[in-house]
Chains A and B, each alone.
Chain A
């Protein structure tokens, strides 16, 4: 029993770090990993999802529906942003840094002016569970399940639906896809919207556990970039194993040496990975397969 409790504690910490990395990076993995747009407004899409989730939940909508609402609104906002701004920047990926940083400034400060400096949170549902002599938040187990479900769902979407095939084709060989009659602009728009919606989903899922402020997205951004970069362009071959490895690094460093080393370890892992395998894990895995 003692052993079981200790094992559960470790698994819980690992799962928690894993869930955070996967959920926060999913949207970025599509926008940055697949489309090559460096989206510094990723955190603001997360904030958007969280705000919508919190306000709809407080209006009486059940939490799962509220989270979906958050994702949906973030997705729509994402498609608007793509149409107005990002569409003009596909040939200039580095300029997208400046444009999305501008969007992020406008969004953060705009929310601050319109909605005030803070927003009342919604409590974490489901209470706690007892394992051994410790208690754990049950909602975080839901988050872990959500992370796994998210990966499976995305895999299904990209490999087993018509949209997925077209989207991958468009992103890998735009001219070819266009020649075959694909409306590539629409596909780009939808893909960006999907990325934004996933960011909104991350915000919605974490909204009950966090403080609601306009700058809340910033706490996600470093972790998400780290995961995507270590993972490389392909979210399934790359981001999922990257999240596993980084979660292990983070959970163990945090457990043994404290939060500071968890934080620094993550950043150093990125530098090393880029140096050893410039294309990220996914390129490396694909390379060894051949």
Chain B
């Protein structure tokens, strides 16, 4: 009995390989295979379905324009169901069985940490196209999402200048929230402000009466909200109905889960978010991207920063392979080491930093108005992901394959 199942696996796998997105005709050479592991069902589906679509859009464009270096792009897509175990299973599957050249994978930081050991073991290459808490120093990873120094070094000083020095942070009680809160604390301190409160909320909590009361009792001038997940998002509605009335600053909302579209106005009014892309951005590049996207996926509820990052990542990969003349990882990294891998995309010009393999961004300050429309009071051009490099991570020299935080920096040597 065991025997039949197991031959079943390989037979099914073969059938699967044949049924994958067919490459366009007219290409003589082998396809470049790109693995895509994203959550198309489960908790995170709202924010991640659009990433898959962005990758499909980019693949179509690249193939229409003659592929990467004359080779067609072929996508191998799996649904990871917002489940870390599925990431482990499918990361092994794409690297070992489907033999992909590169993988685009992951939404939550936990999912990235789940698959990272496997990428290291098979010495593969993965793009993580998500904004996150920062600090991953790993030669097998390229990160296109924004990191705290890019989002907070812009957002917090601006907020303090505009609204005052007293800051109250509420953050999800896990790595992203705690590390982001650490950044906020540090930047507030450097700018002569004061933390009047800091509260961590376990994931899955949806009732915020006590937290709201604590905020009202404090002298806060604005609230930094680093809440994650659908349950915690209930905070905004509850805070608005209790009439907290303080401006809010965030690095995760709007740009990722398009809360301003989903919630009833004015629950999110006076929310300020630093993001590297959202669909309201009114530049010609953004509008062109939006038009292409809507033409291919008219039903898409919202095109968020992760969609733009995924799209950019596909184009960066194309450039890397074409400049290196191969898909071999070390050759690609040598191209990155030249320090001029840049792309003019929907969010303006972005470049890869050789030391950390993270990406620079144009950071937009998005303000949610009373009626939940978006305005952009401020734009910062070309903000580099400086922290890892300054702290001592240099992937051109060595590869620690670790994640660091401000309170747990790379060992000095």
Query: In the complex, A touching B, CB below 8 Å?
Result: yes
Contact of B267 with A259 in the complex, beta carbons under 8 Å: no
Contact of A118 with B231 in the complex, beta carbons under 8 Å: no
User: Which residues of B lie under 8 Å from residue A12 when comparing CB positions?
Assistant: 209, 213
Interface of chain A residues 211 through 261 with chain B (CB within 8 A): 211-213, 215-216, 218-219, 251, 254-255, 258-260
User: Which residues of B lie under 8 Å from residue A9 when comparing CB positions?
Assistant: 213
User: Which residues of B lie under 8 Å from residue A118 when comparing CB positions?
Assistant: 46, 230, 262, 301
* Number of A interface residues in the complex (CB < 8 A): 46
Question: In chain A, what residue has the closest Cβ to B258?
Answer: A118
Question: In chain A, what residue has the closest Cβ to B210?
Answer: A254
A31 to B240, CA, bound (A): 35
Contact of B242 with A135 in the complex, beta carbons under 8 Å: yes
B122 at the interface (CB under 8 A from A): no
User: Which residues of A lie under 8 Å from residue B45 when comparing CB positions?
Assistant: 112, 117
A50 to chain B, nearest CB (A): 12
B326 at the interface (CB under 8 A from A): no
Contact of B210 with A13 in the complex, beta carbons under 8 Å: yes
Among A121-129, A151-159, A174-182, the stretch in contact with B: A121-129
Contact of B213 with A13 in the complex, beta carbons under 8 Å: yes
Interface of chain A residues 36 through 70 with chain B (CB within 8 A): none
B287 at the interface (CB under 8 A from A): no
User: Which residues of B lie under 8 Å from residue A263 when comparing CB positions?
Assistant: 202, 205
B40 to chain A, nearest CB (A): 9
> A209 touches which one: B237, B262, B265 (CB < 8 A)?
B237
Question: In chain A, what residue has the closest Cβ to B217?
Answer: A134
A120 at the interface (CB under 8 A from B): yes
Interface of chain B residues 217 through 245 with chain A (CB within 8 A): 217, 230-231, 233-234, 237-238, 240-245
B211 at the interface (CB under 8 A from A): yes
Among A91-99, A136-144, A163-171, the stretch in contact with B: A136-144
A13 to B217, CA, bound (A): 14
A256 to chain B, nearest CB (A): 10
A278 at the interface (CB under 8 A from B): no
Contact of A210 with B206 in the complex, beta carbons under 8 Å: yes
A72 to chain B, nearest CB (A): 24
Contact of B263 with A137 in the complex, beta carbons under 8 Å: no
A16 to B199, CA, bound (A): 19
Contact of A259 with B211 in the complex, beta carbons under 8 Å: yes
Against A, the Cβ 8 Å flags (1 = close, 0 = not) of B20-61 are 000000000000000000000111011001000000000000
Contact of A123 with B207 in the complex, beta carbons under 8 Å: no
User: Which residues of A lie under 8 Å from residue B213 when comparing CB positions?
Assistant: 9, 12-13, 134
A78 at the interface (CB under 8 A from B): no
B22 to chain A, nearest CB (A): 25
Contact of B267 with A123 in the complex, beta carbons under 8 Å: yes
B191 at the interface (CB under 8 A from A): no
Contact of A136 with B242 in the complex, beta carbons under 8 Å: yes
Contact A128 B230, CB 8 Å, known A118-B301, A211-B262, A263-B202: no
Contact of B199 with A258 in the complex, beta carbons under 8 Å: yes
Contact of B207 with A124 in the complex, beta carbons under 8 Å: no
User: Which residues of B lie under 8 Å from residue A216 when comparing CB positions?
Assistant: 206, 230-231
Interface of chain A residues 100 through 116 with chain B (CB within 8 A): 109, 112, 116
Contact of A112 with B262 in the complex, beta carbons under 8 Å: no
Contact of A109 with B231 in the complex, beta carbons under 8 Å: no
B376 at the interface (CB under 8 A from A): no
Question: In chain B, what residue has the closest Cβ to A222?
Answer: B204
A20 at the interface (CB under 8 A from B): yes
Against A, the Cβ 8 Å flags (1 = close, 0 = not) of B159-184 are 00000000000000100000000000
Contact of B205 with A255 in the complex, beta carbons under 8 Å: no
Contact of A260 with B202 in the complex, beta carbons under 8 Å: yes
Contact of A258 with B200 in the complex, beta carbons under 8 Å: yes
Contact of B237 with A121 in the complex, beta carbons under 8 Å: yes
Contact of B241 with A251 in the complex, beta carbons under 8 Å: no
A145 to chain B, nearest CB (A): 16
Interface of chain A residues 190 through 223 with chain B (CB within 8 A): 208-213, 215-216, 218-219
Against A, the Cβ 8 Å flags (1 = close, 0 = not) of B256-291 are 000001111101000000000000000000000000
A266 to B398, CA, bound (A): 47
Q: Which residues of A contact B (CB under 8 A)?
A: 9, 12-13, 16-17, 20, 109, 112, 116-124, 126-128, 133-140, 208-213, 215-216, 218-219, 251, 254-255, 258-260, 262-263
21 contacts between A and B (CB under 8 A): A16-B209, A118-B230, A121-B262, A123-B240, A127-B241, A134-B216, A137-B242, A138-B241, A139-B241, A140-B209, A210-B237, A211-B230, A211-B231, A211-B237, A213-B46, A213-B230, A219-B231, A258-B199, A259-B200, A259-B202, A259-B211
Given contacts A120-B264, A121-B237, A137-B241, 11 further A-B contacts (CB under 8 A): A12-B213, A13-B213, A123-B241, A135-B243, A136-B242, A140-B242, A211-B262, A213-B46, A259-B199, A259-B202, A260-B173
Which 7 interchain pairs have the tightest Cβ spacing? A123-B264, A124-B241, A117-B46, A128-B243, A137-B241, A213-B230, A135-B243
